[in-house]
Structure 1
């Protein structure tokens, strides 16, 4: 990256109030703990911090320029540049939009209620076989994360896959305005974020905001089994394709067979039938797989090359990550996030991966389900029973409804345990499990269940020594 101060000012409607109007920056940061030499520091405000209080620290660490929307306390060092704007968050997004426009490459936006991260990862891994591909890392999928991802674009990149998240109407519109996608994938519309959006219709409208920004020669790929999504997407004029099980889908899932090590999929891809293998044993992921392969095919990737690459897919951190233990046991770390549908897929994965010991599901609260909150947790409990979980451990205030749902579905009370926090759950796991058990961990990100995963893994590894 190399951005001139003049380019920055024009992009964000900013005014240099200290220093020279010349010079360049070579990276962008909103975190004073992560400052590169000759960096641009943008001072954002949060609920618990104000970046303006760290401008001098950023300069001391090597930042060349800072973007602010109020006066900075203290003395600005000589040789530094301060640019003032009306709103620093808006400036971050305006600058990201201008920077993205420098790159004439296909950018694929991925959104949806469930499975957008997995779909993004699949598309990026397949595209990487042909293109140098940038992708969203971690949870950099919001008003701050998306622009920071776009700033990582470099001259060598030939494609980008950007994940778009939202909690309210208008958010994906803002993100899409920055991203300027050539294509978009909408995985589905489900009762996630009902707490802030209020209705399924609003969720569909929010997801479809991305369609407004598709290139004239680009395309949208949407879940053809979701009638609400299809109806809402019909309001946009971009070229659209569908994927799913319905007979009228352009990319149709014909058959899915779950095996111990993955799923075999037969799919009709616009009139030609292909067989593909995906190395995670959860049939629910067939949607993500077919959507990912279809998107890459529409972008010019040879179908056989895509299918070959698919067989070597590796899950990212905290997303159905399988850790093999001695004596045949496994830890399945799927703590990145959770909702009822992804819980069901994870439980199926655990059932199919178990080899020797018991299947243990350690499940925590799912957030932002709104009016579906209690019902969603009860449903997960029923799915735990249906997937033959041997021991169910729930964590958190809402987790008790998962336990209740399992009991209602006929699971024996001596196999269901509920705990208020991770510490209590950890003590139980250490006392009752062994290294032949397959243990699934999953909850919403706010539960920070990855902490429990690492503690349990450390305990098991040390116990084996």
Structure 2
């Protein structure tokens, strides 16, 4: 009796430890999917990410016990054997399960919300373990429990939604009241790409002139912005620069209600998050919710010329011409650079980008606006940052900052972390860190920089490719792969099955340059440690979150 009770306690303790570790794994994915149940469910289905190893072990051992009981009934099998088998399976699974708080690129953060979901789910899973002791002792019974773990997490998250919405609403109201009380000049920035970089550049300029609060990093969601405003906005802040992300129709409109913008900057309309919007016209409509909010306050909207290739932006500008500043390549430059025979939407009184020149020290940008010429220097890398600088320059000028002060501020601009950040390494190599994310224009610019900086050494590219391009995925990767084949001496592709057309494009150049494929960024780094040489220029283009690169081995 004592031995039997001890075995039950051991099995249950193992179940609790295993359940906690497995729940952490799924909570990690749920957190990266913005606590969206449907996206977690889809991730599990797409990646076949339900338990296989432990369930297979329990199935095989359970089948063996069943066969013995049916075909060899006289063979003595101790009653403790099922408990021993379950305990063994759980113990091995506990040992193999990785802790996402320690063993992930983007680690699980133990936020208050994550805890509110995790602990009730663990309590329910613990109860399900007790249920197994009230049915016949057989390893098969535990398979159902193991497979139930992610479903319990999803159900708990779903049931907590009304409570979470209540908390979010209270915090949102507090932040909104703070904005109304302090009345800073609010500049909203959105776009399919470039918004974080424009925010970084403009924020730096404004900080040299007056107290300025900038939403940090890539914070661009309602709760992220709410938290920053609640905790950091002060009465002396003259400017509030807010990055606004569009995750569906109406999301930017909601952000504009929280932080009503006096000025808006729209950087681009592109394929980022295309899978959520389905068409570029829908992307344009969502992004220009910012323009509509600014126009309600008779404010100024600063846009890149490329955004006017869609009906809604073009109509808004035509209806409110005095409220728009358009930045883009000068018409003669546009016609030379454009190979799609598109029409330039930039007028004579708009801000013209005359030239962008990349050197080993930074960017030189020549602008012409309202009859005046301006030459800027930024210690940044990547030609596309010239366009970002033009948008920030227009915004700063419109806010009344003199051109000479803007130019002085730009000269002290720090590099943007993980966005074409160039760093000399102690081992003699040069790292171009563009790991934060990637899009066709940014990738193209990064390869151009690699060509510029890599004239004396080997040019090495490490990339998992781009994401969320929708139907443009294959074509975009083939084009960029072809360009990479011309520029790079060595290409290292991570999870190449995602981007077969990139590999095809790279090899289509016929150069015979080596291309290596690895399953993870960690494996690629291992190859690099063994093979890099003094003078190598290494471009890391994108570094996907764990949910894209690797599926937990469960």
Q: TM-score, normalised by structure 1?
A: 0.75
Indicate if the aligned counterparts of 1:139 and 1:145 stay in contact, CA closer than 8 A: no
- Which of residues 260, 280, 297 is equivalent to 1:180? 260
Q: Displacement of 1:49 after TM fit?
A: 5.4
Q: State the SS of the aligned residue for 2:236.
A: coil
Which structure's CA Rg is the greater one? 2
Counterpart Cα distance in 2 of 1:183 and 1:318: 27
Indicate if the aligned counterparts of 2:271 and 2:280 stay in contact, CA closer than 8 A: yes
RMSD: 3.1
Relative distance call for 1:383 and 1:146 in structure 2 (3 A) is farther
Match of 1:256 in 2: 356
Kindly report which structure 2 residues correspond to 1:256-405, keeping only aligned pairs within 5 A, or say none.
Answer: 256-326=356-426, 328-354=428-454, 356-386=456-486, 388-396=487-495, 397-405=497-505
Match of 1:211 in 2: 291
Indicate if the aligned counterparts of 1:225 and 1:245 stay in contact, CA closer than 8 A: no
Indicate if the aligned counterparts of 1:338 and 1:445 stay in contact, CA closer than 8 A: no
Indicate if the aligned counterparts of 1:222 and 1:230 stay in contact, CA closer than 8 A: no
Q: State the SS of the aligned residue for 1:131.
A: coil
Structure number having the greater strand percentage: 1
| Cα distance per residue 1:114-146 (max 9 Å; x no partner) | 111111100001111101111111221112212
Q: State the SS of the aligned residue for 2:482.
A: helix
Q: State the SS of the aligned residue for 1:93.
A: helix
Q: Is 1:159 matched up with 2:239?
A: yes
Indicate if the aligned counterparts of 2:304 and 2:327 stay in contact, CA closer than 8 A: yes
**Structure having greater relative contact order (Cα 8 Å, sep ≥ 6):** 2
Counterpart Cα distance in 1 of 2:471 and 2:370: 39
- Which of residues 279, 291, 301 is equivalent to 1:220? 301
Q: Displacement of 1:232 after TM fit?
A: 2.1
Count of matched residue pairs: 385
Indicate if the aligned counterparts of 1:261 and 1:353 stay in contact, CA closer than 8 A: no
- Which of residues 222, 227, 230 is equivalent to 1:148? 227
Relative distance call for 1:178 and 1:279 in structure 2 (3 A) is same
Relative distance call for 1:409 and 1:169 in structure 2 (3 A) is farther
Relative distance call for 1:448 and 1:51 in structure 2 (3 A) is closer
Counterpart Cα distance in 1 of 2:273 and 2:165: 30
Indicate if the aligned counterparts of 2:267 and 2:307 stay in contact, CA closer than 8 A: no
Indicate if the aligned counterparts of 1:385 and 1:409 stay in contact, CA closer than 8 A: yes
Q: Displacement of 1:230 after TM fit?
A: 7.0
Counterpart Cα distance in 2 of 1:284 and 1:376: 17
Counterpart Cα distance in 1 of 2:247 and 2:359: 36
Q: State the SS of the aligned residue for 1:382.
A: helix
Q: Displacement of 1:438 after TM fit?
A: 1.1
Give unmatched runs, 5+ long, in structure 1: 1-30, 35-42, 55-68, 73-83, 451-465
Relative distance call for 1:361 and 1:194 in structure 2 (3 A) is same
Counterpart Cα distance in 2 of 1:100 and 1:51: 33
Q: Displacement of 1:312 after TM fit?
A: 2.0
Q: Displacement of 1:165 after TM fit?
A: 1.1
Q: State the SS of the aligned residue for 1:374.
A: helix
Q: Displacement of 1:403 after TM fit?
A: 2.2
Counterpart Cα distance in 2 of 1:398 and 1:32: 28
Q: State the SS of the aligned residue for 2:288.
A: helix
Counterpart Cα distance in 2 of 1:194 and 1:432: 37
Q: State the SS of the aligned residue for 2:406.
A: helix
Q: State the SS of the aligned residue for 1:144.
A: helix
Structure number having the greater helix percentage: 2
Q: Displacement of 1:302 after TM fit?
A: 0.6
Match of 2:324 in 1: 240
